Amino acid sequence: MKSGKLSTDPGDERKSVTMIVPNLRIKIGPALALLVALLAMPAYAESPAAAAAISGVVRDAKGAPQVGALVELLGPDLAVIANTFTDDHGRYSLPRLTAGTYNVKASGSFFLPTLRENLRVLASSKLVVNLTLNTLYEAFRWLPAKPRQADEPQDDWTWTLRLSANRPLLRMLEDGPLVVVSDGDGTVPALKARITIRGGASQFGDGGLHHDFEMERSNGDGQQLILRADLSQAENPSLNTVVGYARQLGPGRTFRTVAAFEDRPDIQGGVQDQGLQAVVLRSSETMDLMDGISAEYGSEVEAIHLGENQFANHPFAGVSVREGDNEVSYHVSTSPGAQHANEIDREGTLAPALTEKDGQLLLEDGLHQEVSYERREGNVRWRMTFYQDHIKNPVVSGGGTLSLADWNSGNLLYDPNTDLLKATGQNFFSNGLLAEMRDKINDDTWFSVAYAMGDALTMDNLAGPVTLEEGINSLHPRRAAMLSASMNGKLKHAGTQWRASYRWQPTDTVTAVDPFNGELPDPYLSFYVRQPIHCHILPYRVEALIDVRNLLAQGYRPFVTQDGSTLYFAQAERSVQGGLSFSF
């Protein structure tokens, strides 16, 4: 049988089209002929405008384009639909795709395959998917220098959290090969921003209404940038800004640096010493020396002005040896705020631990050494630490209404917005131990307990009216114990993040047992709640937060001064703050 064909008769004035069919000749109009021609096209042909495509670049962990890498398009069942190879610039293209859900897998010599899952391709869309190939060594070694602690809030933007989120995830596919599963692009920056409006926490230097801004920018090639700013609207507005940068220098090596500037015009020393300005610079590096052995080191430089200038340098270092589920580590540090490489940007540690004595600025520092043993058994972590501290110029917190004589004594710093003060206790030496247990109850809940023995400054009951100087001189170290318990987690359906803790030690102590340990909960009864608010009017994620510390106001040591006013020392002041957070 002969197939039909189209022919045009140029002599026909109506430009008719004759369709020749066996034993039949029919003349039809041009429009109908076009319709017939379209119907005659193969049923599987698709309009070029409706076809989608996936393209991108394949690089290694250092960012070098990979030539000749195999890129495969997989279906939801991981069956291969199409494949191609990268060109001289590491680029690939998978054209003429129909709408649907796909996976893209890249393979190369001496690399683990990399898989991007659940890519939703729409009709006529052009999707860019860049892939990074890692060696087996890189996939296992690109981990944080120290695991994220169990009782840290889930949403804290610290380098510990980000590096944990960016580590490769290995998985065995059904057909056998081990692949690195990537959730991100690998090259396109991830940008997060958050604005928080909160009330002052009633802590030293933290009065008034606060406007906080946080921004985080992360690249898949191991670079992170953070920016934080805190502006308080007290009688004299204060400013606190932090800029941090982290970069993977190579497999097992990470460099971090942080710069912070603090301006608190209300902080007062002597009658003429008003307005605190401080610049803090921190840097650190972590490295894997060999399989199972890692090291870290860093330093903190502080420059402070309050009537006079004060400079200080605080180095720290550590080494860890891991074998299976067991780890032994040694750390040495000279400042409570700068101890571990992945914690140098932690909020609350960048403010200088500053006091004044006899009109001279003093910084709390010392020498802290610890040896710890840690063991993991499933979801449970056990840790025993032996430490030794030589603490110089320990900061003692207090409050109350000051007399003019106390104000001009030159033996304290005073914040008139919160009526809180900082004084200097006597130097002391301490050694002790800390035992900790952390248990992951379920995917969203952690529980931890800790017990410590060591020395802390204590204040005896003072009989009769005394001066502030006599109150400070009455502080002395004694042996004390500390016990803490905490739980934190997240409610899946409501999205609520919460933390509750209680840290007890004798109420006559005004400084913490093991003061260099920043992982222990706040003293006495405290809790923290962050609750998402579903508001369809705003296009952003809105959360309400409340942070309460020392709820029962425990551990206050009051005394009466000679002019009849009452002052007190306390390990932690009671503080309550709440606010709203907007994440972009």
Q: Could you give the CA distance from residue 76 to residue 334 in angstroms, rounded to a whole number?
A: 55
Please state whether the predicted TM-score (pTM) of the whole model is above 0.85.
no
Residues 27, 138 share a domain: no
Tell whether 60 and 144 lie within a shared domain. Answer: yes
Cβ 329 vs Cβ 319: under 8 Å: yes
Q: Find where tokens 């006599």 sit.
A: 470
Distance CA 365, CA 63 (A): 42
349 with 442, same domain? yes
Tell me what pLDDT residue 219 has: 67
Which tokens in the block code for residue 547? 């942070």
Distance CA 130, CA 138 (A): 18
Same domain, 53 and 35: no
The pLDDT, as a whole number, for residue 35 is 44
Domain count of the chain?
Answer: 3
Beta bridge partners of 374: 327, 383
Query: pLDDT higher for 267 or 156?
Result: 267
Binning pLDDT at 50, 70 and 90, where does residue 37 land? very low
- Identify whether residues 277 and 326 lie together within a single domain: yes
- Please tell me whether residues 117 and 238 are part of one structural domain: no
Determine what percent of the chain is predicted with pLDDT higher than 90: 35
Same domain, 454 and 400: yes
Same domain, 210 and 261: yes
Q: Is the pLDDT of residue 158 over 70?
A: no
We report the CATH number of the domain holding residue 68 as 2.60.40.10
Q: How confident is the model at residue 429 (pLDDT cuts 50, 70, 90)?
A: very high
pLDDT, position 41: 47
Question: Residue 552 belongs to what domain range?
Answer: 190-583
**Domain final residue, candidates 135, 156, 182:** 182
CATH number of the domain at 304, please: 2.40.160
Which range, 262-271, 350-359, 360-369, 395-404, is most confident? 360-369
How many other β-carbons are positioned within 10 Å of the β-carbon of residue 528? Answer: 17
Distance between CA atoms of 271 and 306, rounded to whole angstroms? 11
Beta pairing partners, 70? 85, 107
- Are 74 and 205 within one domain? no
At residue 26, does pLDDT exceed 70?
no
Specify the range with the lowest mean pLDDT, choosing from 121-130, 232-241, 509-518. Answer: 232-241
Residue 254, H or E segment? strand 253-268
Same domain? For 289 and 147 the reply is no
CA–chain centroid gap for 359, Å, is 39
Residues 295 and 388 in one domain: yes
How much is the pLDDT for 221?
A: 60
Residue written as token pair 């307990």:
449
On whether both 14 and 70 belong to a single domain, the answer is no
563 beta partners: none
C-alpha torsion 407→412→413→414, nearest 10: -40
